[in-house]
Chains A and B, each alone.
Chain A
Amino acid sequence: MNALTQALANQTPGLNHWLVLSTVLFSIGLYGLLTRRNAVGILMAVEVMLNSAALNFVVFNYFVTPGAFDGQIMAIFVIAVAAAEVVVGMAIFVAMFRLRHSVDVNRIDTLKH
């Protein structure tokens, strides 16, 4: 038990581990952005991506400038902007649904050649 504890204690996650985590989350969000057919689903994937970006800020704050709080403030701003974005996005989706009667993004293709 002690050895395991010792091992775990020695392996505290460093900067790289945290960054890999946030990158994995970001990639998953990216996959969802490119693949989802429902507009709201795309928005949820975008939220995942934004969340991972905010995590990134906080991670750097913790590791590079532990005594300052700039990273956390950036994360707060990210959250605020995400909120604004979701508001506008939802409004658009509702209007789109009213017009097209579908939120399938594959059907919204009037930019076609």
Chain B
Amino acid sequence: MEHELGFALSNAWLVPALPLISFVVVGLFIRPYSAKWAGIVATLAVMGSAVMAYAIAWQYFHLYHGEDHPAIVPWTIEWLRYQPGMSVVMGTLIDPISVLLMVVVTTVSALVHLYSNGYMKGDPGFGRFFTYLSLFTFSMLGLVLAPNIVQMYVFWELVGVSSFLLIGFYYQKPSAVAASKKAFIVTRFADLGFLIGVLTLGYYGYLSFPQLSPSIEPGLAGLSTSGLQPFDFAYINSPEFLAYFAPMQVAFFGFSLLTMAMVLVFMGAAGKSAMFPLHIWLPDAMEGPTPVSALIHAATMVVAGVYLVARLFPAFAASETALLLVMVVGTFTSLFAAVIGTTQDDIKRVLAFSTLSQLGYMMLALGVSTMAHPLGYTASMFHLFTHAFFKALLFLAAGAVIHAVHSNSIWDMGGLAKKMPITHLCFLTATLAIAGIPPLAGFFSKDEILAAALMNHHYVVFGVAMLVAGLTAFYMFRIYFVTFWGPHRGHGAEHAHEAPVLMWLPLAILAVLSAVAGFVPMSHYIHIGAPLEHEGINLAIAVPASLMAVLGIGVAFFLYAGMKATARAERLATALGVIYRTIKNKFYIDEVYLFVTHKIIFNYISRPIAWFDRHVVDGGVDLSGWMTRTTGYVLSLGQTGQVQVYGLWYTAGALFVLLIFWAALG
């Protein structure tokens, strides 16, 4: 059914454009002159984007109220043209999950911008920070609004670059530089798989396009201003293409080509969303300033992987193996990260592992769904939505605490509840939310994930997810108790004071959102495949989950609230001995990677290649230069400066020409 698109929907390109303009203007023109205005302009630009996003969301859901929400592409621009009718376009795609992500990204980004005006005050790189934040916001929005997989890949890389720049923001610290390099290299390596997957899909897309595209309904193809193209998600996800592609097999091992492509694409998603074993970059990424951690490594960039899987969900669903892989990896990561998170002392590290764990939840929710029972899809997106708010809040509050205490370690904090009341309240709200205590947001989204797992009969996954829920409550309340209760454990904690208003205002807003976001009836908006049977809260799941959370809180209380409790915790730690130390060292995975890179890759691959490059490649170039120089030198020996010698040459030349004429003319 044709609907008249309103202003916001037709001009959806403004949403990424405003941060882009901010990036250019702030970076080139404002940053050299006034740091303060750099912050103000960037913040206003992102807020404008956020308002626009809300308008789009309102219009879109209002317009299609009660109907099947279609995918609209109101704006495109042709970028690469291979043939007339087959080209790669850049555009903005409006469909339920892109609207959701757009709202999340702009909101969190705007709040982080606001917060950073207070947090980064006095830093010499203040203007540079906002430039990079604007760049990141633009890249993430471009990724979210991508109508085809090529645009998504382009902005995927751009987001990686922004992350690199922001993690390494304190570029004079060697650890920060190393962390940014690590993040970039790991995600780039993962993107290799992604690229191969994209190329595979694109190739078969192009091959099949002429024969399949006429039969694809326009309704499914989306209302696009540029017509269906082979790289479009609408095309790749269409049943016709999947039916054509699924039976194809790779030449060796008999793997399905579709499975291979989706597994490779998932490799990219796993890298960006830090799934095991590509998770190693996320804890180190905490070297960046805290607002960066809040924005990028909690709420937005890391969910790009989840978003990608959701975007290509029909394709993933067509290949059971790929979906199984997603489920297994997601489940394992959530458990793995939760276990490690219980032992870390750096508050940001704990939050990083918590993020890993929650991302695992989102992935497993997608993994347990099928097109016939797609509750997990909705649940995953719902959890993404709520997680963004409370995780960003946790990070920003942690930032306020770190700012006040001048240390990252929880053992330097303590008793901050009285010193920083607003921060304390917000942090508590977020911690309750993440633990899944009703009626806060986390409870609803986690509940849906558990329900999805159970409904699709993945009992092991259900059990692990329950366990992780308990662990989550445990480690989150561990840091809560150590940080906000108990005695002042350090000098900084004694002299802590509340954050300035620019910093606690975003905290308060996010706290409110964390509380109420759970009441959004997500399944009205976000669904795919078969219609959902809407049942509301399933008490059979909600009650045990809440009990697990309360159990976790209780154990944390027992072990960490107060001095006697912490003594008990220490005794437990020494009793567990080796196990405790292994977990605390993150299962030595980083050391394994380091071993492989240094001992194996450097010695057996890098060194020979470097030798080859220096001696053969450079040698070849040097050789050509040497030959030219030597030839020139040899020829210059003929320039004796004596005119008679020149006369000799001249005469010889004239005779030679004469002989040539003789030979030529007979």
A interface with B by C-beta (< 8 Å) = 30, 33-36, 42, 105-106, 108-113
Across the interface, do B642 and A106 meet the contact criterion of CB distance under 8 Å?
yes
Across the interface, do B640 and A112 meet the contact criterion of CB distance under 8 Å?
yes
16 A-B pairs within 8 Å (CB atoms) are namely A30-B651, A34-B647, A34-B648, A34-B651, A35-B644, A42-B644, A105-B642, A106-B642, A106-B644, A108-B641, A108-B643, A109-B640, A109-B642, A110-B641, A111-B639, A113-B637
Across the interface, do A111 and B648 meet the contact criterion of CB distance under 8 Å?
no
Across the interface, do B639 and A112 meet the contact criterion of CB distance under 8 Å?
yes
> What residues of chain A lie closer than 8 Å to B644, measured between beta carbons?
33-36, 42, 105-106
| CB < 8 Å neighbour of A109 from B637, B641, B648 | B641
From residue 618 to 655 of chain B, which have CB atoms closer than 8 A to chain A?
A: 636-637, 639-644, 647-648, 651
A30 vs B647: C-alpha distance when bound (angstroms): 10
The 3 closest A-B pairs by CB, nearest first: A109-B641, A112-B641, A111-B641
Closest to A37 in B: B644
> What residues of chain A lie closer than 8 Å to B640, measured between beta carbons?
109, 112
Closest to B637 in A: A113
> What residues of chain B lie closer than 8 Å to A33, measured between beta carbons?
644, 647
Given contacts A30-B651, A33-B647, A34-B648, contact A108 B642 (CB under 8 A): yes
Nearest-Cβ distance from residue B608 to partner chain A, whole angstroms = 43
Q: Is the interface of B mostly helix, strand, loop or mixed?
A: helix
A30 vs B639: C-alpha distance when bound (angstroms): 21
Known: A33-B644, A105-B643, A109-B641; 5 extra A-B contacts, CB below 8 A, are A35-B644, A106-B644, A109-B642, A112-B639, A113-B641
A35 vs B647: C-alpha distance when bound (angstroms): 10
A28 vs B211: C-alpha distance when bound (angstroms): 89
Nearest-Cβ distance from residue B481 to partner chain A, whole angstroms = 86
Nearest-Cβ distance from residue B648 to partner chain A, whole angstroms = 5
Q: Which of B636, B641, B651 gathers most chain A CB within 10 Å?
A: B641
Closest to B647 in A: A34
A106 vs B644: C-alpha distance when bound (angstroms): 8
> What residues of chain A lie closer than 8 Å to B643, measured between beta carbons?
105, 108
> What residues of chain B lie closer than 8 Å to A111, measured between beta carbons?
639, 641
> What residues of chain A lie closer than 8 Å to B642, measured between beta carbons?
105-106, 108-109
Across the interface, do A113 and B639 meet the contact criterion of CB distance under 8 Å?
yes
> What residues of chain A lie closer than 8 Å to B648, measured between beta carbons?
34
> What residues of chain B lie closer than 8 Å to A110, measured between beta carbons?
641
Across the interface, do A113 and B636 meet the contact criterion of CB distance under 8 Å?
yes
Nearest-Cβ distance from residue A43 to partner chain B, whole angstroms = 12
The 8 A CB mask of B594-622 against A (1 = contact, 0 = none) is 00000000000000000000000000000
From residue 403 to 426 of chain B, which have CB atoms closer than 8 A to chain A?
A: none
> What residues of chain A lie closer than 8 Å to B647, measured between beta carbons?
33-34
Closest to B650 in A: A34
A17 vs B538: C-alpha distance when bound (angstroms): 128
Nearest-Cβ distance from residue B470 to partner chain A, whole angstroms = 87
Nearest-Cβ distance from residue B655 to partner chain A, whole angstroms = 11
Nearest-Cβ distance from residue B654 to partner chain A, whole angstroms = 10
A106 vs B640: C-alpha distance when bound (angstroms): 9
Nearest-Cβ distance from residue B658 to partner chain A, whole angstroms = 13
A110 vs B642: C-alpha distance when bound (angstroms): 8
Nearest-Cβ distance from residue B643 to partner chain A, whole angstroms = 6
Nearest-Cβ distance from residue B632 to partner chain A, whole angstroms = 10
A113 vs B642: C-alpha distance when bound (angstroms): 11
> What residues of chain A lie closer than 8 Å to B651, measured between beta carbons?
30, 34
> What residues of chain A lie closer than 8 Å to B637, measured between beta carbons?
113
Nearest-Cβ distance from residue B428 to partner chain A, whole angstroms = 86
A106 vs B648: C-alpha distance when bound (angstroms): 13
> What residues of chain A lie closer than 8 Å to B641, measured between beta carbons?
108-113
A113 vs B644: C-alpha distance when bound (angstroms): 16
> What residues of chain B lie closer than 8 Å to A35, measured between beta carbons?
644
Closest to A112 in B: B641
Nearest-Cβ distance from residue A85 to partner chain B, whole angstroms = 15
> What residues of chain A lie closer than 8 Å to B639, measured between beta carbons?
111-113
> What residues of chain A lie closer than 8 Å to B636, measured between beta carbons?
113
Closest to B643 in A: A105
Closest to B639 in A: A113
> What residues of chain B lie closer than 8 Å to A112, measured between beta carbons?
639-641
Nearest-Cβ distance from residue A40 to partner chain B, whole angstroms = 14
A109 vs B646: C-alpha distance when bound (angstroms): 11
A109 vs B638: C-alpha distance when bound (angstroms): 12
Q: Which of B636, B643, B648 gathers most chain A CB within 10 Å?
A: B643
From residue 16 to 40 of chain B, which have CB atoms closer than 8 A to chain A?
A: none
A112 vs B640: C-alpha distance when bound (angstroms): 5
> What residues of chain B lie closer than 8 Å to A109, measured between beta carbons?
640-642
A54 vs B562: C-alpha distance when bound (angstroms): 124
Nearest-Cβ distance from residue A64 to partner chain B, whole angstroms = 23
Closest to A42 in B: B644
> What residues of chain B lie closer than 8 Å to A36, measured between beta carbons?
644
Nearest-Cβ distance from residue B170 to partner chain A, whole angstroms = 57
Nearest-Cβ distance from residue B15 to partner chain A, whole angstroms = 68
